[in-house]
Structure 1
Amino acid sequence: MAKFSLTSTFLLMIAVIMMAGVGFSDAQAEDRTVLIVGEGEGHSPIGDSLYRDVVSRISEQVEKAGFSAIQATERLSVSDKDEDEALLRRAREGGLEGQEGRKVTYVAVLSLFADMSLLNVGTRIRLAIKGRLLEAEDGTLLAKFDLKLPENYTAPPECDRRCVIRLLQRNTNSIAEGLGRILAERLSERKSSPAQ
């Protein structure tokens, strides 16, 4: 039976995804505040708890890199460019719940999808963290990510609900921490690169 530790695979996936991003300019990185916004409605207490853990881990890594992280307390439905523009306009105006009027330079939009299905052979677990990092001023896409656990992961039958939740939390936290480190590095590179 395979262990439920896929951290190194996800960190590699995150690194490859992030390296494909857009170049940065120093002039665009004067302020160092990142607003983290949840995309979509909360689906369950477990999903909401995992989402809070993901935001917390990403925030920790962003703050370690010298940026401020603000979590918007409202969850939004943002699925296309027009809605991104409306979100960015509200963020620039300081109008999102939890933002408290603070100016932001970057907006990270996150979605977390967690699902469990009981099978004869155990519990099938599906998990995905999706999102994007945008420049607040002009909407420039700085990074896009879509990280998933392999579709075929199944927890053993003896793993009860609490066990499955612990597995989800442990692996979600590892993925989110790695994603947070990569986003923080990306923002730091943006700050330190010469103007283009």
Structure 2
Amino acid sequence: MKRSTATVFLVCLTIFGLSALFAPRHVLAAELPHLMVMGEDNDQDAIPRDSRVFRRVLNELAEELNNDGFDVYDETAVTLDDFAQGRVRRSDAELIDIARSVTRPPIDIVVLFEIYASAERLDYTTKVRTRLSGRLLDVHSGRRLGNFEVASPRNFRAPVDCNRECIIETVGNNARLLARDVADVLIQKLGDEVDYGNNTGNDFDNSADTGTTSDLARRGNQAGCRGRVQDVYLNFQNFTEQEMLDMEDVILAKFSCYVDHRPASSQGRTHEYVYKTRLHTGKMKRNLVRALEYLGMSGRVSYQGKEFTVSKVNKRRNRYYNEGEKW
């Protein structure tokens, strides 16, 4: 009886150890960017936005990105209430301003593309040439994430008696095929941005790191936070120079997914930093709130887009003499 009891105990202990060994760890999923496909048609030689060729290319790009798991939002749907619809020949400044102004949902990356097409009529055939070019742009930081350009093969032809309607359909079919090639390139570039690193980091490190260079290097190698590098703007208000040093120490020692930071401006008790991270936007806000609590400070954290404002609430200083001692 004693031997069987000991055997059962050892089996249970072994099962418990194996279950603990293979238990799923806490993982940080990558924050997928919100995408919007927008067409550039400011060049008079480019196909305008109100053309059905343009719409076919836009739909094909959005469909391929959506099928690969990215969240793609329709420009008309998210800008219907606040912006004029149906405008053509829009400038780059207008497109970027629209993308930055959308907050429900906030747009992170825009896919800007242009379509060029021409037809050369010969006695025996019609040569059709189509070219698709564009770029990936981080809306908030302005960082270029990549360019792309695809041209139709030289042997793309149309019937010799192809009229205007025939040419438009031929160009549309050709451009739609090119859009698939462009989408493959975009998926690779976006995948490199989103799927970078391992998936084993925590959003706030409670270990006893001191914020030294060795601690930072260790966390950078082992945390392996997954996701694209994002430029976040941190504005600290009502912080003295010493308090900012303390806040920087906490950021370096406690915040995971850290990449880099640099001061942008400092004037009096107002300080602004450009902060590079792979951390989720929501968890970044939570970390800032916890940093205030960790330092024993009262304050509030607000953000819009990728700009965070940390306002410290200062308490009134007591300048009266201590009345505990009288003479």
Q: TM-score range by the shorter chain?
A: 0.5 to 0.7
CA contact (8 A) 2:152 2:178 kept: no
Q: CA RMSD in A?
A: 3.1
Per chain length, whose mean CA-contact separation is higher, i.e. which structure has more relative contact order (CA < 8 Å, sep 6+)? Answer: 1
1:44/1:173 Cα in 2 relative to 1: closer, same or farther (>3 Å)?
Answer: closer
Which structure 1 residue ranges, 4+ long, deviate > 6 Å from structure 2? 42-47
Among 64, 69, 73, the alignment partner of 1:66 is 69
- Alignment partner, residue 122 of structure 1: 125
TM-score normalised per structure 1: 0.65
Q: Determine the C-alpha separation between the residues in 2 that align with 1:30 and 1:49.
A: 34
Whichever residue aligns with residue 39 of structure 1, its letter is: E
Q: 2:142, 2:165 → 1: CA distance?
A: 41
Which of 100, 107, 117 is matched with 1:104 structurally?
A: 107
Equivalent residue letter for 1:93? S
Superposition deviation, residue 117 in structure 1? 3.5
Q: C-alpha offsets along residues 19-38 of structure 1, whole Å, 9 cap, x if unaligned?
A: xxxxxxxx9x7342111111
Residue 315 (structure 2) aligns with: none
Q: Shift of residue 152 of structure 1?
A: 6.8
1-side partners of 2:51 and 2:105: how far apart? Answer: 25
Q: CA deviation at 1:161?
A: 4.8
- Pair 1:106–1:174, CA change in 2 (3 A): same
Instruction: Give the deviation of 1:56 after TM superposition.
Output: 0.5
**Other structure's SS at 1:60 match:** helix
Please state whether the residue corresponding to 2:193 is helix, strand or coil.
helix
1:90 aligns with 2:98: yes
Identity of aligned residues (%): 25
The corresponding residue for 1:35 is 36
Residues 64 and 180 in structure 2, CA contact (< 8 A), matched pair in contact too: yes
Segment of structure 1 superposing worse, 34-43 or 55-64: 34-43
- 1:89 and 1:47, CA in 2 relative to 1: closer, same or farther beyond 3 A? closer
Task: Map 1:176-191; keep pairs closer than 5 Å.
Answer: 176-191=179-194
Secondary structure of 1:128's match?
A: strand
Indicate the SS of the match to 2:56.
Answer: helix
The CA distance in 2 between the partners of 1:123 and 1:153, in whole Å, is 9
Paired with 1:69 and 1:153, the residues of 2 have a C-alpha distance of: 31
Letter in 2 for 1:186: K
Instruction: Figure out how many residues of one structure are paired with residues of the other and give that number.
Output: 158
Q: 1:130 to 1:45 in 2, by over 3 A?
A: closer
Quote the residue 1:23 is aligned against.
none
Q: CA deviation at 1:188?
A: 2.4
Range that drifts further, 46-55 or 161-170: 161-170
| Structure 2 equivalent of residue 77 of structure 1 | 91
Cα distance in structure 1, aligned partners of 2:138 and 2:49: 31
Contact 1:60 1:180 in 2 (8 A): no
**Larger CA Rg, structure 1 vs 2:** 2
3-state DSSP of counterpart to 2:116: strand
Distance in 2 (alpha carbons) for counterparts of 1:169 and 1:163:
10
Taking structure 2 as the reference length, the TM-score comes to: 0.42
Partners of 1:163 and 1:64 in 2: CA distance: 30
The structure with the largest helix share of the pair is 1
Residue 186 of structure 1: CA displacement? 2.1
Q: Give the Å deviation of 1:162.
A: 5.0
